[in-house]
A and B are shown apart, each in its own frame.
Chain A
Amino acid sequence: MLNDVTFGQYYPAKSFVHALDPRTKLLFLIAFIVAIFIADTFYGMILCALALMVIVIAARVPFGSVLRSVKGILFILILTSVLNLFFHGGEHLLTPENWVIKIYREAIVYTVFLLLRLFLLVMASAILTLTTTPVRLTDGIESLLTPLKWIKFPVHELALIMSIALRFIPTLIDETNRIIAAQKARGADFESGNIIKRIKSVVPILIPLLISAFRRAEELGDAMDARCYSGSKNRTKYKKLIFGWRDLVAAIVCAALIAGVVLFNIYAAQIFPQIYEYIVIS
């Protein structure tokens, strides 16, 4: 039997990365993002990319599904790279003087950097959602937000809202599919016609869905009352996230990565002075 909710991107497998504490993964992701943004040498970038490769292998998710996550932002990638390529200034002009379009060497270096950054960023986030169920993710976020209780931030309520939302997403998806099928059986057409017609055709789905959501909310409220819910006061929590040896390993890897990136930033000029100008963003 599969253990968790099956919507979203989650890819079930048994791996080192799957077994990590969700908080570790969240913090690692943040650290990784910091690393790729402070890296201003290609060596640092390659180090990040290598780390990501190792993580993908350790996560035992198909590389294709990680790459697929980039598809969603393909348009943004192309747009930003084109803009940067043409409008980023610099000193070393590559195109002939009389051309309208001017491309500088710095622009190319910068664009490649930017693309690498975005790629790594999206793929790293994809690994988080591929290896962590929404439920574990929520638990992790709640746990990380706990310190905010001191400034009266309603952490508990937020966590409960997220938990209930996650719980009802599959139920409401089922319900939506059933309503669509029922209206189709009555001859409804959701696939053809102009925009106005299509918007109109959503009404027979939306209204029953809303009514059902309200009915469910009301019943859930009663059920929560009947199970003695009275707000976050004096409430205990059963589930506890516990860091294990894996998390320690992850923390060490993370520290090594950041250290490597910083070292390359400082010493790149000394190590490879002859190609220095090609490997850093000016």
Chain B
Amino acid sequence: MEEKINGASPLNENAENAAPADKTAAAAEDCAVKFDGVTFSYAEGSAPALKNVSLTVKKGEFLAIIGHNGSGKSTLARLINGLLLPDSGKVTVFGLDTSEGKNPLKIRRRAGIVFQNPDNQMVASIIEDDVAFGPENLGVEREEIGRRIDWALKAVGMEAYRTGTPSRLSGGQKQRIAIAGVLAIKPDIIILDESTAMLDPRGRREVMGVVSKLNKEEGLTAILITHFMEEALLADRTIVMNRGEIVMQGTPSDIFLHSERLEAYNLSLPRIGRICKALQKSGVGVADCLSPEALAEEIAQEVEKLGAARRSLPYIPAPSGNSSHEWDIDVKDLTFTYSAKSPFASKALKGINLHIDEGEFFGIIGHTGSGKSTLVQHLNALIKLPQANKKYRAKKPKKGQPAPVLPHISVGQFNLADKKCDFLKLRESVGMVFQYPEYQLFAETVSADVAFGLKNFRKGITPEQTEAAVRDALEMVGLSYEEVKDKSPFDLSGGQKRRVAIAGVIVTRPHILILDEPAAGLDPLGKKEIMELLHKIHREWCSTVIVVSHDMDEIADNCTKAAVISDGEVADCASPRELFRKADELTSLGLDVPLTAKACARLKELGIEIDTDFTCEDFADKVISLFEGGKQDA
């Protein structure tokens, strides 16, 4: 197996150099985890999830394991602490074999796992009680548990929330509590099994910061399982898995030097790598960089070297080809309060004014809890305006006070403030795909599920028409109708389920399609495919696509216009080009900016201005044309 890995790996030199070192340091304590030719399959006779994997993790190491969905990386995590046992081969943790007697319990004291969904790993409704769960299980003294809670919550920076409840926290904060819950056991190894997959960028940064700190300051061995390449950059060593096998290993920068291979394993290069490659291909001699600031400096150096390059470039706006305004969306003075008139009332929207032209690929950006989901649920009247409720009676304004401003929304010819508005028709025209839409599938067969909306909206539709529409929708999302129509939606893979769910919305061919985090939780390839699918729908028949997202790079790469929602208000609404030029403002709202914007900001400091729409491709093009201009001048 070792040869196989080395044979397949361009990094065989590294691997071989490392091997003897491992053997000399044979002391069991120094080697945290050891896999010896491990094979595992979930059901007898099914394809193995892990094939003959051998690997060692040294004590104090920070190891990243990356791989596409289904590559076996999560299986690996569960094998380490004995939640799963190998079919053949041996897994040892600090010299303890996981498949021997009571070893799993001993191992779990030393190797803790943080899972993907923060909601599903908490047992108590009060944070300190939840953190106490592990030590309680181990029979730790009461006073010592108190000390451990103090320490663990401090280590993740959540000490202020000790007596709070997790339901009000953001995803990142919840996940930090989950880490504290594992830390309270005082493990030597902490394993993060895609713990950042469901978080927004801020949450991801929080969690990664905590893990790095624990690794460096507390000396914890960290094993990070992820499909975000950006996170793997923080590790000492990276392992790439594909179909149950280790196919590459080395330092993160080693791995990213071999980008072509990553793509063959359904992984994509980080955006920064894509820009580097594009520049190198056109003869701009930048080195491979891991941060946008470093990239900016590399570019500036190159510019210096060539001397005569132009220092700034004008922006030529792309012509917008749309003149129809039949399906414009207009939102005025929209306010909304959850649980109004109760002691728990919370204002979600504080006066939103927004206009979305027909034809846009529109982005709505904001943190979890900024009100963006509440906003979009108004657009198809899932949350009705107060005036549109049957029981609504206009209140007479009190003497001397101005009449209260009523919110108003219109979508195309629909007036959502009108009681008589045909809300069913509206929902047919404004399709909405929720977050993790695959969790809303219910029917026995794929075709029945997809047809659900169609039958609701168009009473009396013939079976032939239904079949044709379902076939169309499924093929639109890239599934073969004949293959999947009679299958249970629950037998499909994660990515396929999401496609079926999207098909169930687009089956009625809505004029406006709203998607809440359509790419959440998918691996890079899955994300790319979903975004391509949306562009195809937008191009072919859907006039307006609205994507709610917290991924700035996704917005920069895909949207023609975007609104930033912060704390229930529209902070800004502009094209990505204008929006991300004001990177400082976004940062001051606590939002991220795309890495191209970061690179541009640094370049500006270095005296080079680039006017770009902040997609990776355009950024690279603009940088290249910087040099072309230079050549012409010379």
| Interface, chain A (partner B; CB < 8 A) | 1-6, 11-12, 134-135, 160, 163-164, 166-167, 170-171, 175, 178-179, 181-189, 203-205, 207-208, 211-212, 215-216, 219-220, 222-230, 234-240
Contact = CB atoms under 8 A, between A and B. Distances in A.
B377 A181 contact: yes
A227 B182 contact: yes
B142 A237 contact: yes
Given A182-B437, A220-B123, A225 B142 contact: no
A216 B119 contact: yes
Given A183-B440, A189-B456, A230 B137 contact: yes
Given A170-B167, A227-B185, A239-B132, 10 more contacts: A6-B167, A182-B437, A185-B505, A188-B452, A205-B442, A208-B441, A226-B108, A230-B105, A238-B132, A238-B145
17 contacts: A1-B168, A3-B163, A4-B165, A163-B129, A171-B167, A185-B382, A204-B443, A208-B441, A219-B116, A220-B120, A223-B120, A223-B121, A226-B83, A226-B112, A226-B182, A230-B137, A236-B141
A29 B24 CA distance: 70
A188 B141 contact: no
Contact of A235 (B139, B146, B432, B508): B139
Contacts of B343: 11-12
B195 to A, nearest CB: 11
A182 B434 contact: yes
B414 interface: no
Interface stretch (B233-241, B423-431, B518-526): B423-431
Interface of B: 78, 81, 83, 105, 108-109, 112-113, 115-117, 119-126, 128-129, 132-142, 145-146, 149, 161, 163-165, 167-168, 178, 181-182, 185, 343-344, 377, 380, 382, 424, 427-428, 431-432, 434-435, 437, 439-443, 452-453, 456-457, 490, 504-505, 508
Nearest to A227: B134
B123 A163 contact: yes
Contacts of A5: 125, 165, 167
A208 B442 CA distance: 6
Contacts of A211: 439, 490
A228 B427 contact: no
A198 B158 CA distance: 45
Interface centre among A160, A224, A236, A239 (most CB of B within 10 A): A236
A10 B483 CA distance: 52
A221 to B, nearest CB: 10
Contacts of A240: 142
Contacts of A219: 115-117, 120-121
Contacts of A225: 83, 108
B427 A187 contact: yes
A166 B125 contact: yes
Contacts of A186: 427, 452-453, 456, 504-505
B140 A167 contact: no
Contacts of B124: 135, 163, 167
A128 B490 CA distance: 44
B168 A236 contact: no
Contacts of A11: 343
A32 B505 CA distance: 57
A274 to B, nearest CB: 49
Contacts of B78: 222
Nearest to B430: A185
B427 A185 contact: yes
Contacts of A3: 163-165
Interface centre among A135, A167, A185, A239 (most CB of B within 10 A): A185
B440 A182 contact: yes
Which 7 interchain pairs have the tightest Cβ spacing? A187-B456, A223-B121, A186-B453, A238-B132, A219-B120, A207-B442, A185-B432
A212 B504 CA distance: 19
Contacts of B185: 227-228
B125 A227 contact: no
A164 B119 CA distance: 12
A237 B133 CA distance: 9
Contacts of A179: 439-440
Given A4-B125, A216-B120, A227 B112 contact: yes
A160 B123 contact: yes
A238 B303 CA distance: 63
Contact of A234 (B126, B139, B443): B139
Given A216-B119, A224-B123, A228-B108, A2 B139 contact: no
Contacts of A207: 442
A3 B133 CA distance: 19
A238 B457 CA distance: 55
A204 B452 CA distance: 9
A236 B139 contact: yes
Nearest to A171: B119
Contacts of A182: 432, 434, 437, 440
A223 B115 contact: yes
B544 to A, nearest CB: 16
A12 B339 CA distance: 14
Contacts of A178: 434-435, 440
B424 A236 contact: no
A212 to B, nearest CB: 6
A236 B115 CA distance: 25
A229 B442 contact: no
Contacts of A167: 122-125
A134 B81 CA distance: 34
A239 B163 CA distance: 12
Contacts of A238: 128-129, 132, 135-136, 142, 145-146, 149
A228 B109 contact: yes
Nearest to A167: B125
B177 to A, nearest CB: 12
A235 B343 CA distance: 38
Contacts of A223: 113, 115, 120-121, 178
A4 B163 CA distance: 8
Contacts of B149: 238
B410 to A, nearest CB: 19
Contacts of A208: 439-442
A135 B125 contact: yes
B318 to A, nearest CB: 32
Given A164-B123, A187-B453, A238-B129, A181 B434 contact: yes
Contacts of A184: 382, 427
Contacts of A205: 442
A163 B490 contact: no
Interface centre among B83, B119, B380 (most CB of A within 10 A): B119
A1 B173 CA distance: 15
A282 B141 CA distance: 58
Contacts of A212: 439
Nearest to A219: B120
A69 to B, nearest CB: 16
A228 B105 contact: yes
Contacts of B377: 181
A144 to B, nearest CB: 18
Nearest to B109: A228
Contacts of B428: 187
B137 A229 contact: yes
A238 B453 CA distance: 51
A188 B455 CA distance: 9
A3 to B, nearest CB: 6
A177 to B, nearest CB: 10
Given A2-B344, A187-B427, A225-B108, A235 B137 contact: yes
